[in-house]
Amino acid sequence: MSAILEVRDLRTQFDTLDGVVRAVDGVSFDLARGETLGIVGESGCGKSVTALSILRLIPPETGRIAAGSSIRFEGEELTGLSEQEMKRLRGHRISMIFQEPMTSLNPVLTVGTQIAENVTRHLGLPKKAALARAVEMLDLVRIADPGRRVYEYPHQLSGGMRQRVMIAMALSCDPQVLIADEPTTALDVTVQAQILDLMLELKEKTGTAIVLITHDLGVVAETTQRVVVMYAGRKVEEAPVEALFDNPLHPYTRGLMRAIPRLDVEADAAGTRPRLQEIPGLVPLLTRPIIGCAFAARCELATDRCRTTPPPFVDAGGGHIVACWEAKP
Amino acid sequence: MTAYIVRRLFATLPVMAVVALFVFFLLRFAPGDPAAIIAGDDATAESIAAVRAKLGLDRPVVEQFLLWLWGLMQGDMGVSIFSNLPVTRLIAQRLEPTVALTLSTLFVALALAIPAGVLAAWKARKLVDRIVMGFAVLGFAMPVFVLAYILVYIFAVLPMRTDWWPLPGLPVQGYRPIAEGLWPFVESLILPSVALGITYMALIARITRASMLEVLQQDYIRTANAKGLATDRVLLLHALKNAAVPIVTVIGIGIALLISGVVITETVFNIPGLGRLTVDAVLKRDYPIVQGLILVFAAAKVLVNLLIDISYAFLDPRIRY
């Protein structure tokens, strides 16, 4: 299957008072047509910046995608496109859903207007037809009484409904790629499951490929086919989802797995469960260039080589790759 | 909404009553005596007392107040001490130039200041922003009468006195009613509007920029950009509508600025409006005219505030009355 999105050596940097922050530092991955790819990592690892970089939404006053980065969508290089050409792509062929449904919708415009303007902009439908499309989309994301809801404002909807509206908006022009940045983080657990199921179901219907960005390994396990694990702006591991959970190779991925609470581990005679293990240490400062492996300072396996030379990717077979000197595939 | 408007209109009555009370007694406490002015410089104490009795100024102040209030309730603002004409008629005669000047100033100010503020916020910290904000600081710091005389110098004195001056002359004296044709009317309002509006414009441009800057940081603006919407739609619909409430508030507050500015502007440009009437009446201590004018200004301000409050509900659906 050919990749619809190919990201190569993406480097996104921000100017801050403390110096240049290398938020994304040489990340590469492919997204196949109709695939669901998870990008996981903790806060500040560059997941969201990766997503914003793909749509070229990095605020130009403070940040930039460094030269040499490549983002190809259906074979077309996005880093070289003009802002006008990008505007035609955004919301039409690549769309995005954000984390906070509470603040991501415009409070003074009806949800119908916000969906319809997308349709008018990209598909050229007249207002009336665009509004009809908005009703259709609300129905598709299973909002009851969509004919009335299109005339409502975001504050009249619950958090879950707002995220459904965001999804309806993002899918209104049948995009080939949907980037979902922590789409369920701000929602109740039961609503989370509904939203994820809805996204997967709509993906089946429309064939849209999804990049799902999350810090929640549970979400990854349930919804994605392949996973990219990021740490400190770099990709450290990439694998099909089963392979990653069965056999995590990078010490960081293993650390993440050990930090997941489990219900299937029996309590001992005294009624205590094994303590969850945190990863010792802190994420490195991104204002300084990281020599060697970014995780070396927190890694129990780290050697001198790890601290001086960045590890190459090792192929463990079956599309499972890991950037670690010490990993034994 | 209708109930709210009716309630607010009723609420203006006590406000106007308080204004009436204050304006009446403050004027009586102020130094100066209209009877002495009428009687002339070489008047005797007896002739002044006679004039005072004729005008009813010798009666107890409370009685005078109640008489005036009784008249007001019947739509009678009293009679000018000097010209003996009804105050309502004097005000009606002078209303048109002032309304025309205020509305044209409002129009010019909004048409220039809001786009300038939006532009400055969009291009924040860039050259355009610095130019706009530079003008705003200058405009805010410049007293109306200083600017007015500078304008008179540039557009009337220099074009007349020199032949190298490139700018055209503009009328700086008087007012041409709209009945005399559109262009003379507009022409006579250009300089007074600029002089009157500059502070107002500066205020609106600054608040527009500040409010827009805050809104442009919001998540929903990022969403709008992620939809690939055209920049003008993002700025003028998604951002400006959210930024509108503080802007409209300042527009309303600024009406008071315009009312006080009208007095000075009409004096400089010799426009026979309410502002000139106010100045003349104050100088002559023509109590009924001053009282009537202040009531009219207060009512205008109260009504503008009501309009502003109503506009909030249209700008932000979360505001309901």
pLDDT digits (tens, 9 = 90+) for A131-166: 999 999 999 999 999 999 999 999 999 999 999 999
Contact A57 B222 (CB under 8 A): yes
pLDDT of residue A261: 80
d(CA A197, CA B212): 38
CATH fit for domain B93-315, picks 3.40.140.10, 1.10.3720.10, 1.10.150.120, 3.40.630.30: 1.10.3720.10
Query: Considering only CA atoms, which of A80, A36, A8 is closest in space to residue A207?
Result: A36
Q: What is the mean pLDDT of chain A?
A: 92
Min Cα distance A101 → chain B (Å) is 9
Per-residue tokens: B282: 């104050």
d(CA B57, CA B61): 8
Length of chain B equals 321
d(CA B214, CA B208): 10
* Largest interatomic CA distance in chain B: 84
For tokens 């406000």, the residue is B15
Mean pLDDT of B151-162: 89
Mean pLDDT of A299-305: 92
**H/E stretch holding A4:** strand A3-16
Chain B residues close to A150, C-beta within 8 Å? none
3-class secondary-structure state, position A64: strand
Interior CA angle at A288 toward A285 and A294, to 5°?
60
d(CA A14, CA A62): 5
d(CA B281, CA A283): 76
3-class secondary-structure state, position A27: strand
Tell me the per-residue pLDDT of B195-240, one tens digit each, with 9 for 90 and over: 999 999 999 999 999 999 999 999 999 999 999 999 999 999 999 9
Residue B136 and residue B312 in contact, taking contact as beta carbons nearer than 8 Å: no
Contact A90 B237 (CB under 8 A): no
Contact A109 B226 (CB under 8 A): no
Query: Beta partners for A228?
Result: A39, A238
d(CA B28, CA B32): 9
More confident of the two residues B181 and A269 = B181
Query: Considering only CA atoms, which of A211, A201, A200, A226 is closest in space to residue A178?
Result: A211
The confidence band for A73, taking pLDDT boundaries of 50, 70 and 90, is: very high
A126: pLDDT strictly greater than 90: yes
Q: Which residue in A has a C-alpha nearest to residue B240's C-alpha?
A: A108
CA distances, A292 to each of A91, A220, A285, A295, A310 (Å): 38, 28, 14, 9, 4
Tell me the per-residue pLDDT of B181-196, one tens digit each, with 9 for 90 and over: 899 999 999 999 999 9
3-class secondary-structure state, position A36: strand
Length of chain A equals 329
How does strand A19-32 pair with strand A36-40? unpaired
Cα radius of gyration (chain B): 24
A281: pLDDT strictly greater than 90: no
How does strand A94-97 pair with strand A36-40? unpaired
Min Cα distance B205 → chain A (Å) is 22
d(CA A151, CA A115): 11
The confidence band for B255, taking pLDDT boundaries of 50, 70 and 90, is: confident
Q: Which residue in A has a C-alpha nearest to residue B125's C-alpha?
A: A61
The confidence band for A322, taking pLDDT boundaries of 50, 70 and 90, is: very high
d(CA B109, CA A146): 42
Q: Which residue in B has a C-alpha nearest to residue A104's C-alpha?
A: B220
Q: Give the global pTM.
A: 0.87
Min Cα distance B229 → chain A (Å) is 7
More confident of the two residues A291 and A262 = A291
Contact B242 A104 (CB under 8 A): no
For tokens 């129990």, the residue is A300
d(CA B67, CA B298): 21
Work out how many CB contacts closer than 8 A connect A with B. 73
Query: Considering only CA atoms, which of B151, B105, B28 is closest in space to residue B275?
Result: B105
Chain A residues close to B222, C-beta within 8 Å? 57, 98, 104
| Percent with pLDDT over 90 in chain B | 67
d(CA A135, CA A166): 13
d(CA B202, CA B136): 4
Mean pLDDT of B261-266: 91
Residues 38-97 in A contacting B (C-alpha not used; CB under 8 Å): 55, 57, 61, 86-92, 95-96
pLDDT of residue A56: 96
A99: pLDDT strictly greater than 90: no
Tell me the per-residue pLDDT of B5-60, one tens digit each, with 9 for 90 and over: 999 899 989 999 999 999 999 988 888 888 888 888 888 888 888 888 888 888 89
Of residues B125, B227, B242, nearest to A91 (C-beta): B227
Mean pLDDT of B74-98: 93
For tokens 């951002």, the residue is B239
Dihedral sign of CA atoms B185, B294, B286, B282 in order: negative
Mean pLDDT of A93-101: 92
Mean pLDDT of A270-294: 84
- 3-state SS, chain B, equals CHHHHHHHHHHHHHHHHHHHHHHHHHHHHCCCCHHHHHHCCCCCHHHHHHHHHHHCCCCCHHHHHHHHHHHHHCCCCCECCCCCCEHHHHHHHHHHHHHHHHHHHHHHHHHHHHHHHHHHHHCCCCHHHHHHHHHHHHHHHCCHHHHHHHHHHHHHHHHHHCCCCCCCCCCCCCCCCHHHCHHHHHHHHHHHHHHHHHHHHHHHHHHHHHHHHHHHCCHHHHHHHHCCCCHHHHHHHHHHHHHHHHHHHHHHHHHHHHHHHHHHHHHHCCCCCHHHHHHHHHHCCCHHHHHHHHHHHHHHHHHHHHHHHHHHHHHCCCCCC
A250: pLDDT strictly greater than 80: yes
d(CA A38, CA A181): 10
The confidence band for A1, taking pLDDT boundaries of 50, 70 and 90, is: low
pLDDT of residue A288: 85
Domain boundaries, chain B: 2-73, 93-315
Residue A225 and residue A35 in contact, taking contact as beta carbons nearer than 8 Å: yes
Contact B228 A166 (CB under 8 A): no
